[in-house]
Amino acid sequence: MSHSVFESLQDDVITLAPSRAPIQFISARRSGSDELSIFEKLPLRLGKTVAQIVFGGNSFYGPALERISGHDWPLLWLQGDVCPGTQISGAQAFVVDGATVRYIKLDGRIVGSYWEDDDAEYSLLTGILPVSLDATPGGQTYNIFEQIEAALSKVGMDFSHVVRTWLYLDKLLDWYDEFNVARTNFFLSRGVFDRLIPASTGIGASNPFGAALTSGALAIRPKHDRVLIREVASPLQCAATEYRSSFSRAVEVTFPERRYLTISGTASIAPGGESLYQDDVVKQIHLTLDVVEAILKSRGYKWENTVRAIGYFRDINDLPIFDAILKERGIAPLPLVPAHTIVCRDDLLFEIELDAVAAGDFK
């Protein structure tokens, strides 16, 4: 199934990105007065929804659940650290067509989906929470990785199959170092540094449950040796592990007939790891796009191969600047959801994560 549609439904813009994969990526930006209207249109009736991410005020969480009453897909709700909570900026949905989907539960909550095709088994986890909200932030971090393991074990998978994580930390700047220590300690205990280090995004955002953080993960277990999973380096940046942050810049999965590249949250960081262009959002956006473009080109992808993106803005009013920069660089509008959030450093104003799909092999 393949879609390439930009359609305006009243005030909402819903994007169905073209994809050769069995999973479809649907993105919606809010721009009108009815903050909940997208829940009447998203997810679209294209298949089985395996996950949905929403960026908006936590006060909308309950009303949104009422609006989608009767649907049971995994839902991750996030209010950015600097978001006033008065708006819903956008949402993304992941939809699988032509496969049987099994939902994964922990403690009675649906936290993920499992499906398979001829090439691999897949598990997409969404909205994982720590068991105890009274634990220290570092303790909650370590436990959230244990909860990812527990969810994967429900479908016979484990952390060795994880290719990507999403980690959303409430009051991120207050305890980001503590988070990094806890993640590294978990990875050391599971031997992650001896194999693939997952791609990742770490962003400042609260959740409706009051947890120090919430998370998601994508796990893939190949069924044969023609599915290859590899770390992809960034030509313009050092490895994140060089400044004690445990994630890969990107991960690529090569299938017999398609390739999937997932790029970690990327910001205006120099080759040596320091932040560049403080207080200049235009230069930060340009450098960030340079870095992402170099990763794409290194594996034979183009911007038009993008199937999903999230833009994280310290000031959501910078979104038109981002759109103008895309146009200036000759990049068509991306299937991107904007989020009003803090990035992992106080001097960074913008970050983007991006997935791309292309046909065939790349040598």
- All structural domains of the chain, each given as residue ranges with its CATH number in brackets, are 1-98 (3.30.1330), 99-223 (3.30.1330.40), 245-363 (3.30.1330.40)
Instruction: Report the distance separating Cα 32 and Cα 113, nearest Å.
Output: 31
Where do the DSSP E strands lie in 19-161?
A: 23-29, 48-56, 75-80, 88-96, 102-106, 109-116, 120-128
pLDDT tens string for the chain (363 positions)? 232 332 333 344 555 555 555 688 888 887 666 778 777 766 666 788 899 999 999 999 999 888 887 678 899 999 999 999 988 888 898 999 888 999 999 999 999 999 999 999 999 999 999 999 999 999 999 999 999 999 999 999 999 999 999 999 999 999 999 999 999 999 999 999 999 999 999 999 999 999 999 999 999 999 999 999 999 999 999 887 887 778 999 999 999 989 999 999 999 998 888 899 999 999 999 999 999 999 999 999 999 999 999 999 999 999 999 999 999 999 999 999 999 999 989 899 999 999 999 987 776
Residue 98: strand, helix, or coil: coil
Q: Would you say the pTM of this structure is higher than 0.75?
A: yes
